[in-house]
Amino acid sequence: MNVAVLGCWHVHAKDYARSAAAHPDTTLVAAWDPDPALGRPLAEEFGIEHTDDLDALLAREDVHAVTVTTETTAHTEVISKALAAGKHVFTEKLLAPTVEESERLVARAADAGLALVVSLPRLYHGYTLAILELLGSGALGTLTHARVRLSHDGAVHGGDPGWLPDRFFDPVPSVGGALTDLGCHPVYLTQLFLGAEPRTVRAVYGSVTGRAVEDHAVVTVGYDDGRIGVVEAGFVSDDAFTIDVHGTEGSVHYTDDGGRLTHRRPGGRVEQLDVPADAPDAFAQWVRHAAAGTRATENLARAVDLTRLVVRANTAAGVKE
């Protein structure tokens, strides 16, 4: 399956290009970006052609599939064009800026019989699989609380002023800041553990760097049965990724500081759990669905639910569309 990169706006453009170059069943053949300053460096690094003509690239019969890493506001148009041209689509999150647009894209892919997959990588990591197995066993009793934190220092270190490109702080193309980008991972994990549709969503966004969008955020979600979830994300501190899930009979904690997963039982006894190998990642699943002519039903449902909760969080924080 020959793959082209559509858009080099997002920092993960090269990551998915590497996936296409490395997977045994895909070949990376071209890259498009309307801005040569973004598109040409990627094309040169991978030894492929660059074009600024999207329609011409999508008209090529030797291009079977595309990865989409444009700015979020361009997703709906670019993905729609790719699907109309008969191309399978692998896209960076968010799938689209709104729930309505996301649902339309899912429906268009289904109608066209094309594989559409959204990059939600932490759903398939070993620690997530282990936590889900523990929750499914009932070992924690009735779930009461979950907290997921993910942060990096892209707004303050590694460059001037940070390593994260300035375009990530432009509210027009990015549709938000730390929550809408990095915070998507804690959001979909919290939804996975506690449920996709909380009753209440409250959010506090802050900008310690004075940017036009938030550089750190906290979102709390409440459910009808009393469970509470806390989502934390930021661009201003480089600290460990952590997951905490609590229940009436114990808790489970994961930190990527050493990759430690622990289960705390009533009475304070703590045992370390093994972290299994990761499941096939979203890119590999996409290739498999494209080859088999099947749909990534669960991935797409979670992608739409993710968009729904991010939109609710932005609204709760007072972010204007």
- Let me know whether 85 and 152 are in one domain: no
Of 152, 148, 227, 216, give the one whose Cα is nearest residue 179.
216
Residue with tokens 């595309």: 66
- Let me know whether 145 and 69 are in one domain: no
315 domain residue, yes or no? no
- Let me know whether 153 and 270 are in one domain: yes
97 domain residue, yes or no? yes
Alpha-carbon torsion angle 164, 165, 171, 176, nearest 10:
-30
Instruction: Report the domain count for the chain.
Output: 2
- Let me know whether 58 and 82 are in one domain: yes
Query: Which pLDDT tens digit goes with each residue over 36-55?
Result: 999 999 999 999 999 999 99
In this prediction the pTM is 0.97
Pairing of strands 2-6, 65-68: parallel
Q: In the structure encoding, which two tokens stand for residue 100, read together?
A: 């309505």
310 domain residue, yes or no? no
**Which residues, 6+ apart, have CB-to-CB distance to 104 below 8 Å?**
76, 80, 96
- Give the model's pLDDT for residue 199: 98
Beta strand spans in 140-211 (E): 143-151, 200-206
Boundary (domain end) residue, out of 96, 120, 144: 120
- Give the model's pLDDT for residue 292: 98
- Give the model's pLDDT for residue 174: 86
pLDDT (average), residues 122-136: 98
**Which residues, 6+ apart, have CB-to-CB distance to 320 below 8 Å?**
none
- Give the model's pLDDT for residue 63: 98
- Let me know whether 146 and 181 are in one domain: yes
Question: Residue 126: phi, psi to the nearest 5?
Answer: -60, -40
The parent domain of residue 87 ranges over 2-120
297 domain residue, yes or no? no
- Give the model's pLDDT for residue 194: 98
Boundary (domain end) residue, out of 103, 120, 137: 120
**Which residues, 6+ apart, have CB-to-CB distance to 181 below 8 Å?**
168, 174
pLDDT (average), residues 253-268: 96
Give the pLDDT band of residue 293 (cuts 50, 70, 90): very high
Query: Which pLDDT tens digit goes with each residue over 50-97?
Result: 999 999 999 999 999 999 999 999 999 999 999 999 999 999 999 999
Sign of CA dihedral 153, 156, 161, 167: positive
How far is 87 from 6, CA to CA, in rounded Å?
12
pLDDT (average), residues 295-304: 98
- Let me know whether 26 and 91 are in one domain: yes
The mean pLDDT value of the chain amounts to: 97
Q: 235: domain CATH number? A: 3.30.360.10
291 domain residue, yes or no? no
Give the pLDDT band of residue 160 (cuts 50, 70, 90): confident
In percent, the amount of the chain with pLDDT more than 70 equals 100
Alpha-carbon torsion angle 189, 193, 195, 196, nearest 10:
20
288 domain residue, yes or no? no
- Let me know whether 155 and 202 are in one domain: yes
* Collapsed DSSP state (helix, strand, coil) of residue 4: strand
Query: Which pLDDT tens digit goes with each residue over 6-26?
Result: 999 999 999 999 999 999 999
- Let me know whether 155 and 263 are in one domain: yes
pLDDT (average), residues 296-319: 97
Hey, what amino acid is at 222?
A: G
Which of the 8 DSSP states describes residue 169? G
- Let me know whether 143 and 204 are in one domain: yes
Reply yes or no on whether the pLDDT at 264 is more than 90. Answer: yes
Q: 66: domain CATH number? A: 3.40.50.720
What does the buried/exposed string (b/e) look like for 148-175 if buried means 16 or more CB atoms within 10 Å of the residue's CB? bbbbbbbbbeeeeebebeeebbeeeebb
How far is 164 from 217, CA to CA, in rounded Å?
17
- Let me know whether 181 and 59 are in one domain: no
Give the pLDDT band of residue 172 (cuts 50, 70, 90): confident
Residues forming a β-bridge with 27: 2
In percent, the amount of the chain with pLDDT more than 90 equals 97
- Let me know whether 146 and 270 are in one domain: yes
How far is 160 from 140, CA to CA, in rounded Å?
45
How far is C-alpha 266 from the chain's CA centre? Answer: 34
Reply yes or no on whether the pLDDT at 319 is more than 90. Answer: no
Boundary (domain end) residue, out of 85, 120, 155: 120
How far is 216 from 180, CA to CA, in rounded Å?
10
Q: In the structure encoding, which two tokens stand for residue 59, read together?
A: 């008209």
111 domain residue, yes or no? yes
- Let me know whether 133 and 259 are in one domain: yes
Give the pLDDT band of residue 321 (cuts 50, 70, 90): low
Query: Which stretches within the chain are classed as H helix?
Result: 13-22, 36-46, 54-58, 75-84, 99-112, 126-137, 171-174, 184-194, 282-292, 297-316
Query: How many beta carbons lie within 10 A of that of residue 202, not counting itself?
Result: 14
How far is 183 from 25, CA to CA, in rounded Å?
31
303 domain residue, yes or no? no
- Give the model's pLDDT for residue 248: 98
Reply yes or no on whether the pLDDT at 284 is more than 90. Answer: yes
